[in-house]
Amino acid sequence: MPVVYLIVIYRIPNSPMAILSLYNKHILLGVTGGIAAYKSAELVRRLQDAGAQVQVVMTPAAQEFITPLTLQALSGNPVHTQLLDPEAEAGMGHIQLARWADLVLVAPATADFIARLAQGMGNDLLTSICLATAAPLTLAPAMNQGMWRNQSTQANVNILRDRGIQLFGPTDGSQACGDIGPGRMLEPTQLVEAAAGLFQTGLLAGKKVVITAGPTREAIDPVRYISNHSSGKMGYALAEAAAEAGAHTLLISGPTQLPCPARVTRIDVVSAVDMFAASLREAADCDLFIASAAVADYRPREVAEQKIKKGEGESITLTLVKNPDIVAAVARLPQRPFTVGFAAESEHLVEYARRKLVRKKLDLVIANDITQPGIGFNSDNNAVTLVDAAGEQVIDQRSKTQLARELVTILAEKLASSSHHHS
């Protein structure tokens, strides 16, 4: 049998920006005691491929899963393991390490480490560095799905998020214990991209972007409502892309099942009237407003105080009244932002989108054909046509994440060349 060698060359997908934004950055990688620690070895290499300098700090439990020698060989630096190590203190103690770091990334971050960090403990080298550093602190949680879902863990995670600590992941997948569920650590390439995203100044640096997303719910009585099939995926992807591009990003979201993207502030609303109020409040001083929510056009005139009982008759009559038009109201503001609307159409796509552009005085309309299979509501993919005064531009089908990045790039250029962005 001839011997066949398979050579796999790893690349970070589509991220020249990632490479640039991690170049020469000091990344302090914390490794805690989870089975995912075996991936930390590859993570060191990927971070270095992106041009970063890496110092590794391991907890005692981490050393049960992977040896310091492995990470030392990969990082080219001595691995730090002890808080009160006389040799390490002479070289690089916890205060020096805390000052050295541009970013502290803990991957994997176990439930125990998250709990200790939430309590503000400094009972080992890694927690002490986390307490002492002024650098952004990011965690890549990795644990059994039961531990991740546990109330204590979720409470600790919320404490950390409130302190501005970012979590990358976890994601769903098969776990070492055989379970399937949330708790699996993101892959090294994904963590490199996420870390790079923190350093991207981007095309919208210093701009305030407000995005509406998801459906609205219009109450009929305390238990029933009128709504639609919007998943919010497109709006959330746009918010993530705007944050990546350096914008101060606000996401005004109807009820969805989606987690809020990193570096995005989410304002939760339920009804169209709530969304209208939040949108006008936030749009007053924003640079770019993107109305991607599927807002209910009508709401019941009266909301019953009590649950409507099933009557004797065959039918019930609801009187619906028109909801306020959010995007048109934003476009009419005296200090108006660059205003972008969405048009979901089933026919005459460009013609209807252009009518909407003119009627509502918008700067741009993003139109998608809801009759096309595999795109639009609830799908992970989308294809759109951009319609503005200059003409039309078609962006063919791709993932909503990729599409969002492309849209943000186009919108940033149009915003920069438009006459009414804030000076």
Quote the CA–CA distance of 164 and 303 in Å, as a whole number. Answer: 39
Instruction: Supply 209's token pair.
Output: 């972007």
**What ranges do the domains of the chain cover?**
16-199, 208-303+317-417
Contacts of 314 (CB under 8 A, 6+ apart): none
Query: What burial class does residue 369 get, using C-beta atoms within 10 Å of its C-beta: 0-12 exposed, 13-18 middle, 19+ buried?
Result: middle
On whether the CB atoms of residues 229 and 257 are closer than 8 A, the answer is no
Bridge partner list, 253: 213, 268
Quote the CA–CA distance of 43 and 102 in Å, as a whole number. Answer: 17
Q: Classify domain 208-303+317-417 by CATH number.
A: 3.40.50.10300
Bridge partner list, 159: none
On whether the CB atoms of residues 69 and 38 are closer than 8 A, the answer is no
Instruction: Supply 96's token pair.
Output: 């020096």
Contacts of 182 (CB under 8 A, 6+ apart): 145, 148, 149, 170, 171, 172
Which alpha helices (DSSP H) does 204-348 contain, by range?
Answer: 233-244, 272-283, 326-331
The reported pLDDT for the residue numbered 96 is: 82
On whether the CB atoms of residues 287 and 335 are closer than 8 A, the answer is no
SS (H, E, C) 114-133: HHHHHCCCCCCHHHHHHHHC
Instruction: Supply 89's token pair.
Output: 């203190």
Domain 16-199, what fold? Rossmann fold (3.40.50)
Bond preceding residue 373 cis, omega within 30 of 0: no
The reported pLDDT for the residue numbered 20 is: 54
pLDDT digit string (tens) for the chain, length 423 residues = 666 665 544 444 444 444 456 766 789 999 999 999 999 999 999 999 988 889 999 999 999 999 999 999 999 999 999 887 665 544 567 788 887 887 999 999 999 999 999 999 999 999 999 998 878 899 999 999 999 999 999 999 999 999 999 999 898 877 666 777 788 999 999 999 999 887 765 788 889 999 999 999 999 999 999 999 999 999 999 998 898 788 899 999 999 999 998 779 999 999 999 999 999 999 999 999 999 999 999 999 999 999 988 876 778 889 999 999 999 999 999 999 999 999 988 888 899 999 999 999 999 999 988 888 777 677 777 889 999 999 999 988 777 877 888 899 999 999 998 855 444
Quote the CA–CA distance of 399 and 401 in Å, as a whole number. Answer: 5
List, in sequence order, every beta strand (DSSP E) within 276-407. Answer: 288-291, 298-300, 320-322, 338-345, 364-369, 381-388, 391-399
- List, by residue number, the catalytic residues: 177
Contacts of 348 (CB under 8 A, 6+ apart): none
Instruction: Supply 357's token pair.
Output: 């552009």
Among 218, 195, 177, residue whose Cα is nearest residue 322: 218
- In the numeric block, the tokens 């149009």 are attached to 414
On whether the CB atoms of residues 86 and 41 are closer than 8 A, the answer is no
CA atoms within 13 A on the CB side of 84: 2
Is-same-fold flag (16-199; 208-303+317-417)? yes
